[in-house]
A and B are shown apart, each in its own frame.
Chain A
Amino acid sequence: MKLNDAYEPVIGLEVHAQLLTASKAFCSCSTQFGVEPNSNVCPVCLGMPGTLPVLNRNLVEFIIRMGLATGCSITPRSVFARKNYFYPDLPKGYQISQFDLPLCTGGSVEIDLDDGSRKTIRLTRIHMEEDAGKSIHDIDVDTLVDVNRCGVPLIEIVSEPDMRSPREAYLFLTRIRQLVTYLGICDGNMEEGSLRADANISVRRKGTTPFGTKTEVKNMNSFRYVERALEFEINRQIQVLTEGGTVAQETLLWDANLGVAIPMRSKEEAHDYRYFPDPDLVPVLVEEAWTGRIRESMPELPTVRRDRFESTLGLPRYDADVLTAEKETADYFEDTLQELTNQTGRDRKDLAKPVSNWVMTDILRVMGERKLAIGQVPISPVRLAGMIRLILDGTISGTIAKELFEEMLGSDEDPESIVERKGLVQVSDHGVLSAAIQEVLDNSPDQVRKYINGSDKVFGFFVGQTMKKLQGKGNPSVINELLRKKLDGLKSA
């Protein structure tokens, strides 16, 4: 869909991230996903009469990590509030959340735009809350409720309306996903609902400053849908305006099957949540010492790591971006690089690019083909480093390496021993190579004639044929050298 150029969209996102704490936010029930419905429950998360919430301190620790990673100020005394509404999957009739005193305020994240520039997206706040249960409407005539998710801790990250295109919103969301996974506080899985985004959208004529009337789009439960849903809604608003209408402030649900955002019935959205401080919980006091301890234990953040890959390892921006997109990939790359440095004693800077090439092309390809996480790829950093070392020290050729790589996927044998067992060692012996070259030239008189007549293109053909004769084990640079000498001799003869 093409967006009308006369208008500019204004987008803010609210991202819910389900935290990876072992137990729920206010009771000791497990947060495990995918278990039997209504099995991870206790009187507290069932909202049984007389029960009281008790805060899980890890929840606070997790949100502080996110707050520090995004440069938020950490509120020393924040307060839980009750958000009151009726719904069958909300056992207490209210959700414990934060309202006027959230734990984190301010802060920002940077996104890398496609033109190579960077843009800062400001955050309004990050707060803690508990998840509701799940209503299942389509199994029977009745609505079924699974309360396993009730009380699972969430953080809500609220951005300022700083995004000006669906693409920027997508980049913001991927940055948030990258951050929460780097911090180990959320698995970032949008399809399973661990990461959920709602958007506030308005449009205005380009060059004007006041915001238009905004709508809220919910239910964009996949990264793929975010851009599509936003484009849909922006176009809808622009169309309303160009036809002389006014945009109504409302909430819409994205329907991925129909590819449209449908307004919710006004009854469903006419909520007055009647927030007030939850008297069952004491204020959350965060002392500087606690924040300090968390700050010290923070992992290296993705953008810092990416910049380090560029500046100290000399990798191209593209490589650095791809390698740091996921923490596990970056870890794998660095582990391999470290191993190779140890094995060869050479400068990391010289080794980084070959390692990057193998990780970015072959390892990522295997992950994609076999739907594996990088930790599940059968080639460990140690073995990959061993293989690259064999290339660098001339034991095997690049061509052989491709074969060796495939071989390594099928077993956990050392690369050296595979090379030895299968006789994959590179042939650099001039006598052997010369003999093979001579045979190729003898069998290809037409091509030789072409070369003599000035066609350099056939040179590649001779290299290929020679390599084939040697089952790929010939040392390519020696072959090149000998072949050139021989052919040029024929030319001048």
Chain B
Amino acid sequence: MNPTYESIRRSIESGETSCETITAEMLGAIDDRPGLNAFLAVFRENAIARAREVDRKFRDGTAGRLAGMVVAVKDVLCLRGERVTCGSKILESFESLYDATAVSRLLNEDVIVIGKTNMDEFAMGSSSEHSAFGPVLNPVDSTRVPGGSSSGSGAAVAAGMAHTALGTDTGGSIRQPAAFCGVVGMKPTYGRVSRYGLVALSSSFDQIGPFAHSTADAARVLQVIAGKDDADSTTSQDPVPDYLASLTKDVRGLRIGIPEEFLKEGICDDVLAAFHRAVDRLKEAGAKISNVRLPHARYHIATYYILMTAEASSNLARFDGARYGYRSPRAKDLQEMYLLSRSEGFGQEVKRRIMLGTYVLSAGYYDAYYLKGQRVRRLIQSDFLEAFRAVDALLMPTTPTTAFRFGEKASDPLQMYLSDVFTVSANLAGTPAISVPAGNDSEGLPIGIQVMGKHFDEATVLKVGDFLEEEVT
């Protein structure tokens, strides 16, 4: 139904269509469904102007690798001269001075950035209900959440408002909305994509990744944004392999592991059925399926929320009303400037996590929470290293359920946190993981299947994702 970039490019090159036409269509799709609230900013004039420029490049034969691809960018990534709100009132009118590395690498390959997408405030949330600018509706069923925190990016791609989108994934914020919206979403290995220009939620977990209709398009975007960046010390020097070359549909002999701990309880029947269908397809195609153990699986959520909030509490300290962003007009002195600006500028969930994180780093609690959390994280990482000695990839559902209803979990943060149960592990371990559509449940809501791979082995993850996407949907 949705064309891949390859076919789009072919029709531009053949003169059948143009970047300008495509961009105009996408802008039309955005205008057709304003209630979706997927975008916080739409670059109408700029996108059309740029589309014309890229059309010229096509004529000149100088078009870049992703020329004409229309991309939506999560509003937590910086674009020079454009607002970067992070879904927060505290940065409502803040404009960035520079481009995020991932965005500028895409621009260098002639993509057309159509706008900035809505999100849970500072990427904290799984439903878009924490956006200061109203929730994003799920394009498949507007009574349902689109997932989060990259809610607008997932919804925009699913609703045909962009070919691909950039999101960020700290504990599932790409994969979960991809699963809920029925698109492909990938979190690369920690260190594969530069975080420069990504307004940090949790620095040791955050990664930028693509949303797309196909694994192939996700691979195309990853190909461009991946690789060493001098501006981010945590990026890897490892060369970036040719990802498209790995999409052979040949899974013969691949060793696929099923983490038993994850399948014990709490997964709804339709998701479980879709998962088993995927396992059967792989088996039939010659993959070797085996069970693997992740002994510390039950500590994943707790460990994640301790360490993530700790880092977040420090990362968000800079939003203090002193230099940029919201400053409370009621503040009469320095203390009040901090207290009131932050109390009024941040939403509930952000304040909750700042308080949790401040607590776990506090004198007297540091050892019991932060330090212990770090130790458990290392145990979790070694669980995965151990598992990946026996298998090439792990397979699991992306989420225990399909998209839930608005309000269903908003009042209970713990229930909301638990919906991240299958996704946080890839961030704890730093491994790459993809969510691909795997059919629909009985209510017609999309189901996502997740493939996780070894560090820097995005190629295998993409290969299995590509196979499943084709065979199951």
B196–A50 touching, CB < 8 Å:
yes
B197, B232, B314: the one within 8 Å of A276 (CB): B314
A86–B314 touching, CB < 8 Å:
no
B196–A279 touching, CB < 8 Å:
no
B361–A276 touching, CB < 8 Å:
yes
Q: In the complex, how many angstroms separate the beta carbon of A29 from the nearest chain B beta carbon?
A: 14
Q: Which of A46, A54, A93, A274 gathers most chain B CB within 10 Å? A: A274
Tell me, yes or no, whether A65 is within 8 Å of chain B by CB. Answer: no
| Chain A 49-101 residues near chain B, CB threshold 8 A | 49-55, 82, 84, 86, 88, 91-94
B322–A94 touching, CB < 8 Å:
no
B97–A86 touching, CB < 8 Å:
no
B233–A49 touching, CB < 8 Å:
no
Q: In whole angstroms, how far apart are the Cα atoms of A92 and B100 in the complex?
A: 18
Tell me, yes or no, whether B234 is within 8 Å of chain A by CB. Answer: yes
Tell me, yes or no, whether B256 is within 8 Å of chain A by CB. Answer: no
B199, B311, B320: the one within 8 Å of A93 (CB): B320
Count residues of chain B with CB under 8 A from any CB of chain A. 44
B322–A43 touching, CB < 8 Å:
no
Tell me, yes or no, whether A282 is within 8 Å of chain B by CB. Answer: yes
Chain B residues close to A by CB (< 8 Å): 77-78, 84, 86, 91, 94, 96-98, 100, 195-200, 202-204, 230-234, 310-311, 313-314, 316-320, 322-324, 334, 338, 358, 361-363, 366, 370
Q: In the complex, how many angstroms separate the beta carbon of B6 from the nearest chain A beta carbon?
A: 32
Instruction: Type the 1/0 row for A91-135, where 1 means its CB is closer than 8 Å to any CB of B.
Output: 111100000000000000000000000000000000000000000
A54, A84, A88: the one within 8 Å of B231 (CB): A54
Q: In the complex, how many angstroms separate the beta carbon of B227 from the nearest chain A beta carbon?
A: 16
A49–B232 touching, CB < 8 Å:
no
B100, B230, B234, B324: the one within 8 Å of A50 (CB): B100
B86–A282 touching, CB < 8 Å:
no
A52–B317 touching, CB < 8 Å:
no
> For residue B311, which residues in chain A have a CB less than 8 angstroms away from its CB?
276, 279
With both beta carbons as reference points, the residue of chain A lying nearest to B335 in the complex is identified as: A267
A279–B203 touching, CB < 8 Å:
yes
> For residue B98, which residues in chain A have a CB less than 8 angstroms away from its CB?
43, 48, 51
Other than A48-B324, A51-B197, A54-B231, give 9 A-B pairs with Cβ distance below 8 A: A50-B78, A50-B84, A50-B198, A88-B322, A274-B358, A275-B361, A276-B310, A280-B233, A282-B233
B232, B324, B362: the one within 8 Å of A274 (CB): B362
Q: In the complex, how many angstroms separate the beta carbon of B351 from the nearest chain A beta carbon?
A: 15
Say what secondary structure dominates the interface of chain A.
loop
B84–A280 touching, CB < 8 Å:
no
> For residue A47, which residues in chain B have a CB less than 8 angstroms away from its CB?
318, 323
Tell me, yes or no, whether A281 is within 8 Å of chain B by CB. Answer: yes
Tell me, yes or no, whether A442 is within 8 Å of chain B by CB. Answer: no
Q: In whole angstroms, how far apart are the Cα atoms of A48 and B324 in the complex?
A: 9
Instruction: Type the 1/0 row for A122-166, where 1 means its CB is closer than 8 Å to any CB of B.
Output: 000000000000000000000101000000000000000000000
> For residue B316, which residues in chain A have a CB less than 8 angstroms away from its CB?
93
Tell me, yes or no, whether A272 is within 8 Å of chain B by CB. Answer: yes
The 5 closest A-B pairs by CB, nearest first: A93-B317, A279-B204, A274-B361, A279-B203, A49-B199
Instruction: Type the 1/0 row for A185-199, where 1 means its CB is closer than 8 Å to any CB of B.
Output: 000000000000000
With both beta carbons as reference points, the residue of chain B lying nearest to A84 in the complex is identified as: B314
With both beta carbons as reference points, the residue of chain A lying nearest to B86 in the complex is identified as: A49
Q: In whole angstroms, how far apart are the Cα atoms of A148 and B360 in the complex?
A: 33
Q: In whole angstroms, how far apart are the Cα atoms of A91 and B362 in the complex?
A: 21
A55, A88, A94, A282: the one within 8 Å of B314 (CB): A94
Q: In the complex, how many angstroms separate the beta carbon of B18 from the nearest chain A beta carbon?
A: 33
Count residues of chain A with CB under 8 A from any CB of chain B. 30
With both beta carbons as reference points, the residue of chain B lying nearest to A88 in the complex is identified as: B322
- A sample of 17 inter-chain contacts (CB < 8 A) reads A48-B97, A48-B98, A49-B86, A50-B77, A50-B100, A54-B232, A84-B317, A86-B320, A91-B323, A92-B317, A93-B314, A93-B320, A145-B322, A272-B363, A274-B313, A274-B361, A279-B311
Q: In whole angstroms, how far apart are the Cα atoms of A242 and B349 in the complex?
A: 55
Q: In whole angstroms, how far apart are the Cα atoms of A319 and B230 in the complex?
A: 51
B84–A49 touching, CB < 8 Å:
yes
Chain A residues close to B by CB (< 8 Å): 43, 46-55, 82, 84, 86, 88, 91-94, 143, 145, 272, 274-276, 278-282
Q: A48-B97, A49-B94 are in contact. Are A54 and B230 (CB under 8 A)?
A: yes
Q: A43-B97, A49-B199, A88-B322 are in contact. Are A54 and B314 (CB under 8 A)?
A: no
Q: In whole angstroms, how far apart are the Cα atoms of A278 and B231 in the complex?
A: 16
Q: In whole angstroms, how far apart are the Cα atoms of A22 and B98 in the complex?
A: 24
> For residue A94, which residues in chain B have a CB less than 8 angstroms away from its CB?
314, 317
> For residue B366, which residues in chain A have a CB less than 8 angstroms away from its CB?
274, 276
> For residue B358, which residues in chain A have a CB less than 8 angstroms away from its CB?
274
Q: In the complex, how many angstroms separate the beta carbon of B341 from the nearest chain A beta carbon?
A: 11
Q: Which of B195, B318, B363, B366 gathers most chain A CB within 10 Å? A: B318
A50–B197 touching, CB < 8 Å:
yes
Q: In whole angstroms, how far apart are the Cα atoms of A479 and B439 in the complex?
A: 118
Q: In whole angstroms, how far apart are the Cα atoms of A92 and B199 in the complex?
A: 12
A50, A55, A86: the one within 8 Å of B233 (CB): A55
Q: In whole angstroms, how far apart are the Cα atoms of A139 and B363 in the complex?
A: 37
B78–A49 touching, CB < 8 Å:
yes
Q: In whole angstroms, how far apart are the Cα atoms of A47 and B315 in the complex?
A: 10
Q: In whole angstroms, how far apart are the Cα atoms of A111 and B201 in the complex?
A: 49
Q: In whole angstroms, how far apart are the Cα atoms of A46 and B96 in the complex?
A: 12
With both beta carbons as reference points, the residue of chain A lying nearest to B206 in the complex is identified as: A279
Q: In the complex, how many angstroms separate the beta carbon of B31 from the nearest chain A beta carbon?
A: 30
Q: Which of B204, B361, B366, B370 gathers most chain A CB within 10 Å? A: B361
> For residue B313, which residues in chain A have a CB less than 8 angstroms away from its CB?
84, 274
> For residue A88, which residues in chain B have a CB less than 8 angstroms away from its CB?
322, 334
> For residue A275, which residues in chain B have a CB less than 8 angstroms away from its CB?
361
B96–A48 touching, CB < 8 Å:
yes
With both beta carbons as reference points, the residue of chain B lying nearest to A278 in the complex is identified as: B203
Q: In the complex, how many angstroms separate the beta carbon of A161 from the nearest chain B beta carbon?
A: 22
B86, B100, B317, B324: the one within 8 Å of A86 (CB): B317
Q: In the complex, how many angstroms separate the beta carbon of A39 from the nearest chain B beta carbon?
A: 15
